[in-house]
Amino acid sequence: MKNKIDLNNIPNHVGIIMDGNGRWAEQRGKLRTFGHENSIQSVKDSIVGCKELGIPYMTLYVFSSENWNRPKKEIDSLMRLLHNNLKDSLEEIHNKNVKIIAIGEIEKFPVVIQKRLFLFIKKTENNTSMTLVLALSYGSREEIIRATKIIAKKVYMGNITLEDINFSFFQNHLYTKKIPDVDLIIRTSGEQRISNFLLWQSAYAELYFTNVLWPDFRKKDFFEAIINYQKRRRRFGKVI
Ligand code: IPE
Ligand code: IPE
Ligand code: MG
């Protein structure tokens, strides 16, 4: 599979909407949380896939702004899982030389998770093999409103004028300010929608949908997505 990949045409930034955990569990007659618990290998495989291909940025949609509307029991178990994984995977991620950053309303998480996360970010901040962006309590509409408010305040305070607001200025007020636009978005589970993920940043992203449920997603599936991406002709509005 990997030998079909052109290493000269690798996306700079891949985003993954990791979907289908609940259905995966239900197919096995288990509670939805069983699916979440079985999603770790898929994350590991995606990281290794990125590293093998030299993809510098990957964003994982871990928990959306709207996911807070799920039943309390499911949220509690997701929080537990997140907390445990942040604890257990720190050494492994650090040894892989992966840098972790987070985007989203982190302050909405329990303090213990915030602390774990900041520890993770601090420990891995000088790592250089790739940047793994965790989208946590992330919603792109919220992100855009937040940026608008910050900018509006700067205008109101007289620190900038309306003319200062352009494409790159706006971009610099998003959570993703230091991260390049996403080139490829992969969504598992057969759903074909964006669900409030990287709306601004995906203006020219290629979209790839697979029926594979997230807990079944492996490196070969990741490579398949990259091979599919490499068949696309990205025109960016031009004639080429
Ligand atoms: C994705 O799987 C995980 C999160 C959104 C946290 P789901 O929990 O959405 O699983 P399905 O889509 O209901 O099968
Ligand atoms: C999107 O999946 C969010 C994450 C993968 C974290 P959802 O399962 O929440 O999205 P919808 O509700 O099917 O659109
Ligand atoms: Mg879902």
pLDDT at residue 1, rounded to an integer? 83
Element (H, E) at 87: helix 72-88
The pLDDT tens digits of the residues spanning 59-77 come to 999 999 999 999 999 999 9
Domain ranges of the chain: 17-27+49-139+182-228
Which residues have a Cβ under 8 Å from the Cβ of 189 and sit 6 or more positions away?
Answer: 19, 20, 23, 211, 212, 213, 214
Task: Read off the pLDDT band of 240 (50, 70, 90).
Answer: confident
Minimum CA distance residue for ligand 2 atom 6: 63
Task: Read off the pLDDT band of 10 (50, 70, 90).
Answer: very high
Identify which of 105, 96, 106, 108 has the alpha carbon closest to the alpha carbon of residue 132. 96
| Residue among 21, 60, 67, 133 to mutate when testing ligand 2 (max atoms within 8 A of CB) | 67
Task: Read off the pLDDT band of 54 (50, 70, 90).
Answer: very high
How far is the C-alpha of 144 from the C-alpha of 174, rounded, in Å? Answer: 7
The residue-averaged pLDDT of 149-167 equals 98
Whether 69 sits among the annotated catalytic residues: the reply is no
The pLDDT tens digits of the residues spanning 82-140 come to 999 999 999 999 999 999 999 999 999 999 999 999 999 999 999 999 999 999 999 99
How far is the C-alpha of 210 from the C-alpha of 4, rounded, in Å? Answer: 19
Report the topology of domain 17-27+49-139+182-228: Undecaprenyl pyrophosphate synthetase (3.40.1180)
- The pLDDT of residue 179 is above 90: yes
- Tell me, using a 6 A CB cutoff, whether residue 21 lines ligand 1: yes
The pLDDT tens digits of the residues spanning 15-52 come to 999 999 999 999 999 999 999 999 999 999 999 999 99
Helices (H), 96-212: 111-124, 140-156, 167-171
Are residues 133 and 55 in contact, defined by beta-carbon separation less than 8 angstroms?
A: no
Task: Read off the pLDDT band of 162 (50, 70, 90).
Answer: very high
